[in-house]
Structure 1
Amino acid sequence: MRNPVPDLLDEVRRACVDGDEGELLDTIPELADADPDRFAIALCTIDGTVYGTGDDEHRFTIQSISKPFAYALALADRGRESVLEHVGVEPSGDAFNEISLEQNGRPRNPMINIGAIATHALVGEAGMSRERRDVRVREGLSAFAGRDLEVDEAVFDSERSESSRNLALAYLVHAQEKLDGEPHDAVEGYIRQCALLVDVRDLAVMAMTLAAGGRNPVTGQQVVPTWVCTQVLSVMATCGMYDAAGDWMSTVGIPAKSGVAGGVLGSLPGQVGIGTFSPRLDEIGNSVRGVRAFERLSAELGLHLMHAPEVASHVLYGVVEPDADGDGVREVQLQGTMHFAAVEVTLRELEELPDDDAPIVLDLSRTASATEVGRRLLREGVERMREDGREVRVADPDGLLDG
């Protein structure tokens, strides 16, 4: 059988290629020379399979898509409370380069420039030199991508020549004592971070690493702790697409981040990582074709975050009564994923079992996985039945309750 997923992606790309809406970014000379007709889509699954279509090996600078990953590194290096002292998590409703500060001088979130500059300065240990921090950022983002990323020095020089506004933002945050280090170092490091070269396949893997709780699905490396990804994805969902974040979340429903080179990254927890590239931008600074592709993928593949699959109510595969097969044992057969909602249904089913002397076998052979809370509650349920005098055995061939 020929896998239909590549054809599906190519169909989406071809459906979104019509029209020449949008403009190349003209404020950065190197980006103004991009080929406006390049277009690519890539998708990475939970097991590290990567599908791509179009110009999926064409490399471009990551730009603001680097922000969530630098934020992840800062959280991992300094801890949540320390980062929150310098950068907030509230949506701004402002353009990416606006002066968006809270009353105490703290940038509103790490996805706008003023917050991203402050975030960059928090990567690594306190007092780290700019050169060492640059290495930490490059190596950290490379770990997310699963390969060594390089800086486009021409784009770096081009952006540095146009960095007056970012320098002004950095000095403003520094004056409010919310910048760790010197403004010039923070801005130069931030610009270098934005000049890392990626393709859409890299973006898809990076997105899936966030969606998989920090574990790169290709290399198997645990890049950052799981709690970091929860924090980053939450902020991406509310702030990642700037002043279009609300519209994006209601129509596409995938935590995402865009960049002015034309890339868009989307990370759907536990399911998929997506990257697109097309350099024509709308008035907000998001890729026109990239947004169009995400809208289509979300609709056709059912990827909206709020479109939850109905798994909890179908967790019970069946109950085999003692006299059904003559062995005198009551088998409770479970299926799917044992998360909180699924285990809650299971516990209520166990409560309703007849109060007789028939031994109970809890069969987990059809169960795919279990979350920490799912394991804890299911173990507790088994123990309580035993305390009530019931004979309970657990058929757990994959050791799901031992995790």
Structure 2
Amino acid sequence: MSPMKNEAVADLVSNTLEELLDQVRGDRSGELADYIPQLAQVDPEGLALSVVSSTGRIYAVGDHDQHFTLQSASKPFVYALALSQRGPDVVHERVGYEPSGEPFNAISLDAEGRPANPMINAGAIVTSSLIEGATPDARFEAIRHCVSAFAGRELELDEAVYASETATGHRNRALANLALAAGTLDRTVIDATDVYFRQCSLKVTATDLAVMGATLSNNGVNPLTGVQVMTPEVVRRTLAIMLSCGMYNYSGYWMNDVGLPAKSGVGGGIVAVSPGKFGVGTYSPRLDPSGSSVRGVAALRLMSNQLGLHLLNHPSEAAASFNADDSSFDNLILRMRGELDFACVERIVHELSEHGDTIKSVHMDLGESTAVVPTARGMLKDLQEVLAHEDIPITIDDPRDFIETEPHLKAPEPHVADAHAPLPENQ
């Protein structure tokens, strides 16, 4: 029996992401961010989707090597740095916690003169001003070093975008003036906005964003470098702000429909986090009226719904998992339990691709499975076909026909007593 072609199994995950991207590829609505002239010159057709697991596995499709600027997608990471340096009490004396319900560049100050949250421009300018450093150069270098640690590589400044932002950033300087007048900004307007313009002009790819998200997903440890970039407490606070405020004036819709901590930027990128599972980066530069990527939003919505990633999904068991009974991976027995989602099947695919040259047979036991999300079901069916093509026998114990029947069927719920029946007397 010849060894299995491991790439054929590994491609199952990338193929799933490519299919997701194909569903949004035809949408050409939205506009480039022409209020920053340099951003109006980018190729509007760019489209990428990258996923990085919290254990460091990278999957990337589309234009995933294309560089663009972070823009507002920098805000969660600078907020995390401010929390780590100054602590939440000091940070939130100057900037609030609450969703603004307004556009990203709105004049939004509370009764105490604080910007509503760190994810809108006014709040991000104040947050950047809190970073330690004697000069704007020192503060920017601290930010660049931190964001680079999240990305796992040294990030560079896009000088042309920085110059374009500086030349046209009158509204941001006006917001900084209002914060200064309210007493929440204790640096000069030029000082504060210069650092902010530079953090927004750092160059990344969709895969960089996914690594940054995976670092948050992995409790602050970059899964590629192993560096503890932020503490778990800082990560928790950062994810909470991303979830409640990261998508501006439709953060409520986002929480309801997508349910992932996320942050968009007018450069066309979105970073999203599935805690404990994945970081996701998308890129497509045409923006909706809220300043978020049209196709990026659509792709993340599909991922949440089709891959079962919404934070408030209630699986039939606390977590999906599997275990391999034969550690030699010779005759592999996979016992599944709980709700099988994309994250669980991705782990299975990874294990098979890693050990494909030794596997002689595979048996999957779904006896303790309680549900299979649609995409996971499709991936398991594709896996059957790949293994059959490689002449590797595969048997599946699927007592509830999760794979062969319609997707996302669940096991019968336990019997629940009639809610209107009389309560038993106290014993």
Using the size of structure 1 for normalisation, the TM-score is 0.76
| TM-fit CA distance, 1:276 | 0.3
Q: Could you list the runs of 4 or more consecutive aligned residues of structure 1 that deviate by over 3 angstroms after TM superposition?
A: 308-315
The aligned runs of 1:135-154 (5 Å cut-off) are: 135-154=141-160
| TM-fit CA distance, 1:20 | 1.3
Counterpart of 1:235 (choices 220, 238, 241) is: 241
Please say which of residues 16-25 and 187-196 is displaced more in the overlay: 16-25
Whole-angstrom CA distance in 2 between matches of 1:112 and 1:254: 18
Select the structure with the greater relative contact order (CA < 8 A; seq sep ≥ 6).
Answer: 2
**Cα 1:82–1:256 shift into 2, 3 Å:** same
Unaligned runs of 5+ in 1: 318-334, 337-403
Counterpart of 2:135 (choices 115, 123, 129) is: 129
Which residue of structure 2 aligns with residue 60 of structure 1? 68
* Paired letter, 1:55: D
Counterpart of 1:112 (choices 109, 120, 124) is: 120
| TM-fit CA distance, 1:124 | 2.1
* Paired letter, 1:13: L
Counterpart of 1:41 (choices 40, 49, 58) is: 49
Q: Deviations over 1:11-45 (max 9, x none)?
A: 11111101311111110111001101110000010
Matched, 1:276 2:285: no
Counterpart of 1:254 (choices 237, 241, 260) is: 260
The aligned runs of 1:254-333 (5 Å cut-off) are: 254-312=260-318
Secondary structure, counterpart of 1:178 in structure 2: coil
Which residue of structure 1 aligns with residue 332 of structure 2? none
**Cα 1:255–1:142 shift into 2, 3 Å:** same
Secondary structure, counterpart of 1:293 in structure 2: helix
Matched, 1:70 2:78: yes
**Cα 1:46–1:308 shift into 2, 3 Å:** farther
**Cα 1:296–1:312 shift into 2, 3 Å:** closer
* Paired letter, 1:230: R
| TM-fit CA distance, 1:284 | 1.1
Whole-angstrom CA distance in 2 between matches of 1:314 and 1:142: 32
Matched, 1:82 2:97: no
Which residue of structure 1 aligns with residue 411 of structure 2? none
Secondary structure, counterpart of 2:61 in structure 1: strand
Which residue of structure 2 aligns with residue 362 of structure 1? none
Whole-angstrom CA distance in 2 between matches of 1:67 and 1:248: 18
Which residue of structure 2 aligns with residue 352 of structure 1? none
* Paired letter, 1:209: T
Matched, 1:93 2:101: yes
| TM-fit CA distance, 1:312 | 4.4
* Paired letter, 2:195: G
Secondary structure, counterpart of 1:295 in structure 2: helix
CA contact (8 A) 2:268 2:287 kept: yes
Secondary structure, counterpart of 1:84 in structure 2: helix
Q: How many pairs were matched up?
A: 316
Secondary structure, counterpart of 2:279 in structure 1: strand
**Cα 1:188–1:226 shift into 2, 3 Å:** same
Using the size of structure 2 for normalisation, the TM-score is 0.72
Q: Deviations over 1:219-278 (max 9, x none)?
A: 010011110010011011110000011111111110100000110110111111000000
Whole-angstrom CA distance in 1 between matches of 2:185 and 2:215: 28
CA contact (8 A) 2:27 2:295 kept: no
Whole-angstrom CA distance in 2 between matches of 1:145 and 1:154: 22
Aligned-residue CA RMSD (Å)? 1.7
Secondary structure, counterpart of 1:16 in structure 2: helix
Whole-angstrom CA distance in 1 between matches of 2:140 and 2:18: 37
Counterpart of 1:202 (choices 208, 212, 219) is: 208
**Cα 1:312–1:254 shift into 2, 3 Å:** closer
CA contact (8 A) 2:81 2:146 kept: yes
Which residue of structure 2 aligns with residue 373 of structure 1? none
Whole-angstrom CA distance in 2 between matches of 1:20 and 1:83: 40
Counterpart of 1:180 (choices 173, 177, 186) is: 186
**Cα 1:313–1:78 shift into 2, 3 Å:** closer
Which residue of structure 2 aligns with residue 344 of structure 1? none
**Cα 1:314–1:58 shift into 2, 3 Å:** closer
Whole-angstrom CA distance in 2 between matches of 1:82 and 1:268: 28
| TM-fit CA distance, 1:308 | 3.8
